[in-house]
Amino acid sequence: MPPVCPPYLDDIGTRTNMVTTSRDRMRSKWALLKTGTGQKKFLHHLHDQYGQDTFIVSAPFTVLKNIEALLSVSKVLRSNNSSVVPLFISPIHVRQAIQTWGKLGLKLEKGKINFSSGFYYTSVALELCDQVNIYGFWPFRTDREGRPVRYHYYKSVDSGGLNNN
| Domains present along the chain, CATH in parentheses | 9-157 (3.90.1480.20)
pLDDT of residue 7: 64
Q: What strands, in cross-sheet order, belong to the sheet with 85-88?
A: 18-20, 55-58, 85-88
Q: Is the pTM of this model over 0.85?
A: no
Radius of gyration of the chain (CA): 16
Output the CA torsion sign for 2, 3, 8, 14. Answer: positive
The Cα 158–Cα 96 span in angstroms is 33
What percent of the chain stands above pLDDT 90? 18
